[in-house]
Structure 1
Amino acid sequence: MNVFQKDSPLPAAVLWDMDGTLVDTEPYWMRAETELVASYGGVWTHDDCMLLVGSGLWNSASILQGRGVDMEADAIVQWLTDRVQEQLAEHGIPWRPGSRELLAELKDAGIPTALVTMSVKRMARQIVELIDFPAFDLIIAGDMVTNSKPHPEPYLTAAATLGVDPAHCVAIEDSTPGVTSAVAAGTITVAVPHQIDLPESAAYTRWSTLDGRTLEHVSELYRERLSRIDLDLLSEFSITTRTQ
């Protein structure tokens, strides 16, 4: 049941990034990229891996082609996804600190949730099916949108499909492309840096970790951000009326 009402103290939905935010699959992707480049005689460093964090898979495929991987983009995406799924099947879900606990509390409170990831849908489904409770109402994956992060389309699509206003959604992200996408979509964005640091910004709220974060923290952030928006609108109205 959607507990959201117009004046609700709870967000209309919480939209989760997957890799690096919900689960720590980035090392799996890095291992797969390194193996693929090495199979074509190339070298793929940690710095190279950082270039692809948070990026859409087809953009990543283009970069890998430029490093000597002689495969079609779709074949690269399939190969990388297969390799990461193999590691997931072997090792299980590598949860990020606090993510499972917060996700479970949100679901217990009846808040709709969406998984908004640039991984392909079959991998997102594998993650969701490995979770020991019904965690997500919706999946928006990289092969379900035309424009990947940092474009706002993934988050706009998630909000529209859930039937909620992005401005009443909290999005949780860990990368620059992801944060850019969520902010551009108009969500209340939480940045939780993992592989790459994210600076403080007025455009989003930075939490160093989700460990210890609860529904109350999310609700408090939601109320504070909405209050700030209301104050800004009131200020604009006051300025307009004084100049007429």
Structure 2
Amino acid sequence: MSAALPAAVLWDMDGTLVDTEPYWMAAETALVESFGGTWTHEQALTLVGQGLESSATILQAAGVRMAASEIIDHLTERVTQTIAEQGNPLRPGAAELLADLRAAGVRCALVTMSLRRMAEQVVAPFGHTFEVIVSGDDATRPKPYPDAYLQACQALDIAPRDAVAIEDSPTGVRAAVAAGVPTIGVPLMVSLVGAGAHALWPTLAGRTTADIAAFHSARPAHPTPPAPAEGHR
């Protein structure tokens, strides 16, 4: 392989590794309706890419009379239960790319704003593929701030510019780019146009370590981070 491999690939989880957004949306809808409110698909889309604390605040405004911590625990429990019952809803090409990266000796980390207990459940079938997990429990500030990605790089003892991030939401893209990590956007439910990703791939299906290496070799020398915007699971 002529192109240089990155030191690590940093994966977002919800919407990137696994298509769990429908699980979150179903849990949100049931919760709001249990308090007599309504929750539309359009409202649910506004939570894609939001930190859990921000999501809890929005759900409170929709009529959920629970503390933010209770909302987060309730939603996490519902989603993890659905995963346990139905299995990981992997995004196309994700498992194959992970296996190819592992075979090539490229380290992987998970950078998610979901709680650690959910993240550990999702990655359990992959054995030791994910060397580091930075979850919503760990990040000093949520995405779109760069903290979680910087913490992952520190845990791996690598420079951000030597890694590659894969994200599906504008909030996640902004976080990775703000940390100085060359970032590939793979959109799912919301557009990534203008979010700042250094490349946009419509899917991970058919992508290999060679594609990651080619992207990394052509990475910008000095990525320009956008200003953080309020708003990942």
State TM-score, norm by structure 2: 0.91
SS in 2 for 1:134: coil
> Please, which of 28, 33, 47 is the counterpart of residue 33 of structure 1?
28
Question: Which amino acid in structure 1 is aligned with residue 88 of structure 2?
Answer: I
2:168 maps to which residue?
174
Displacement over 6 Å in runs of 4+: none
Distance in 2 of aligned mates of 1:141 and 1:203: 21
Contact 2:177 2:196 in 1 (8 A): no
SS in 2 for 1:143: coil
* Post-superposition offset of 1:146: 2.1
Distance in 1 of aligned mates of 2:151 and 2:179: 9
Distance in 2 of aligned mates of 1:71 and 1:200: 35
Distance in 1 of aligned mates of 2:128 and 2:40: 38
* Post-superposition offset of 1:132: 4.3
Distance in 2 of aligned mates of 1:177 and 1:208: 18
- The question of 1:85 aligning with 2:77 is answered no
Question: Which amino acid in structure 2 is aligned with residue 30 of structure 1?
Answer: M
Q: How does 1:85-104 map to 2 (within 5 A)?
A: 85-104=80-99
* Post-superposition offset of 1:112: 1.1
- The question of 1:229 aligning with 2:198 is answered no
1:69 maps to which residue?
64
Distance in 2 of aligned mates of 1:132 and 1:149: 25
Distance in 2 of aligned mates of 1:201 and 1:121: 26
* Post-superposition offset of 1:115: 0.4
- The question of 1:151 aligning with 2:179 is answered no
Deviation track 1:44-65 (CA, whole Å, cap 9, x = no partner) reads 0001111110111111001101
Q: Higher mean Cα deviation, 102-111 or 213-222?
A: 102-111
2:157 maps to which residue?
163
Contact 2:19 2:91 in 1 (8 A): yes
1:136 maps to which residue?
130
Contact 1:120 1:143 in 2 (8 A): yes
- Relative CO higher for 1 or 2, CA cutoff 8 Å, sep ≥ 6? 2
Distance in 1 of aligned mates of 2:63 and 2:221: 49
Q: What is the aligned residue count?
A: 220
- The question of 1:215 aligning with 2:216 is answered no
Question: Which amino acid in structure 2 is aligned with residue 217 of structure 1?
Answer: D
* Post-superposition offset of 1:107: 1.1
Who wins on radius of gyration, i.e. which is larger? Answer: 1
- The question of 1:197 aligning with 2:191 is answered yes
Contact 1:200 1:206 in 2 (8 A): no
Distance in 2 of aligned mates of 1:212 and 1:76: 38
Distance in 1 of aligned mates of 2:113 and 2:144: 10
Percent of paired sites with the same residue: 52
Q: Compute the RMSD of aligned alpha carbons.
A: 1.4
Question: Which amino acid in structure 2 is aligned with residue 94 of structure 1?
Answer: P
1:16 maps to which residue?
11
More helix by share: 1
Distance in 2 of aligned mates of 1:35 and 1:46: 12
- The question of 1:42 aligning with 2:37 is answered yes
Deviation track 1:13-60 (CA, whole Å, cap 9, x = no partner) reads 100000000000000000000000000000000011111101111110
> Please, which of 120, 124, 128 is the counterpart of residue 115 of structure 2?
120
* Post-superposition offset of 1:202: 6.3
**Distance change >3 Å, CA 203–CA 93, structure 1 → 2:** closer
1:184 maps to which residue?
178
SS in 1 for 2:218: helix
Gapped regions of structure 1 (runs ≥ 5): 1-7, 231-244
